[in-house]
DNA sequence: GCCAACGTTGGC
DNA sequence: GCCAACGTTGGC
């Protein structure tokens, strides 16, 4: 069992959007970065849990928890010539881009990136590293447990 | 909207 | 296969 952090632009799919999807599931489409693809294709397992992060927005940070609910499969948008995510090199036999499906587990309180930076326990978290642009990163057991405790707190004083 | 830090592309 | 130029990400 492995933990992850997955960034989504709320303008594309927010935590509320996910909650309102049929079966509260969504294909994690549009990842066009090899490292992130490899995490989904090679390492993610059904049942893995992930932090749902809003990025490229006014208030970036943690908004919820989701679960990986499918094996890796080709990203469907790469075959659509009208999509921004179209990939001319992909064929149905040989897809370049792979992804998993993700299921809503719960909304959490918002934890801002500034708050996360205040905890020494999290100073090595991938998402907090300078220059990090990866939209999918592994989260260690320790980081996950610590964040779990933060989420149980009503409000941070 | 700026820009640092990456990632990708393509000429050589 | 090097590397300059260009493109993208995403916090600020």
Cβ atoms within 10 A of the Cβ of A152, count? 9
In this prediction, residue A142 carries a pLDDT of 97
- Tens digit of each residue's pLDDT (9 = 90 or more) over A138-152: 999 999 999 999 998
Query: CA A121, CA A112: separation in Å to the nearest integer?
Result: 15
pLDDT recorded at residue A51: 98
Residue nearest to nucleotide C8 (CA to C1'): A133
- Residue A79: name the closest of A60, A95, A64, A66 by CA: A95
Which nucleotide has the least CA–C1' distance to A36?
Answer: B7
Residue A31 pLDDT: 95
pLDDT of residue A89: 87
- What is the model's pLDDT at position A105? 97
Model confidence pLDDT, tens digit, residues A60-117: 999 999 999 999 999 999 998 888 899 888 888 889 999 999 999 999 999 999 999 9
Predicted confidence (pLDDT) per residue in A107-120, tens digit: 999 999 999 999 99
**A143 CA – B2 C1', rounded, Å:** 32
The residues pairing with A4 across neighbouring beta strands, listed in sequence order, are A50, A138
Position A36 pLDDT exceeds 80: yes
Q: Is the CB of residue A28 less than 8 Å from the CB of residue A102?
A: yes
Domain ranges of chain A: 3-150
Name the percent of chain A lying above pLDDT 70.
Answer: 97
Closest nucleotide (C1' vs CA) to A130 is B5
Q: Look at the domain A3-150 and name its fold.
A: ph1033 like fold (3.10.590)
Identify the residues numbered 65 to 104 in chain A whose C-beta atom is closer than 7 Å to any atom of strand C. Answer: none
Residue A154: per-residue pLDDT: 58
Helix (H) or strand (E) segment spanning residue A125: none
- Span CA (A157) to C1' (C9), Å: 32
Would you say the C-beta of A134 is within 7 Å of strand C?
A: yes
Q: Side by side, which strands form the sheet with A61-68?
A: A25-27, A101-112, A61-68, A49-54, A3-8, A136-139
DSSP 8-state class, residue A40: I
A151 touches strand B (CB under 7 A): no
The dihedrals phi and psi of A53, each to the nearest 5 degrees, come to -115, 135
Distance A42 CA to B12 C1' (A): 36
User: ∠ at Cα A28 (A23, A31), nearest 5°?
Assistant: 170
What is the distance in angstroms measured between the alpha-carbon CA of A11 and the sugar C1' of B7? 24
């Amino acid at each position: 069992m492995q933990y992850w952090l997955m960034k989504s632009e709320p303008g594309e799919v927010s935590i509320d959007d996910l909650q309102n999807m049929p079966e509260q599931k969504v294909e994690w489409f549009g990842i066009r970065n090899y490292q992130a693809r490899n995490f989904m294709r090679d390492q993610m397992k059904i049942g893995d849990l992930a932090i749902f992060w809003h990025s490229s927005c006014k208030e970036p940070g943690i908004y919820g928890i989701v679960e990986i609910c499918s094996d890796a499969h080709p990203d469907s948008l790469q075959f659509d010539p009208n999509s921004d995510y179209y990939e001319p090199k992909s064929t149905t036999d040989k897809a370049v881009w792979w992804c998993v499906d993700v299921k809503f587990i719960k909304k959490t309180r918002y934890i801002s990136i500034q708050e996360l930076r205040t905890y020494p326990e999290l100073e090595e978290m991938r998402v907090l590293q300078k220059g990090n642009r990866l939209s999918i990163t592994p989260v260690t057991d320790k980081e996950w447990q610590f964040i779990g405790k933060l989420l149980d707190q009503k409000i941070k004083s």
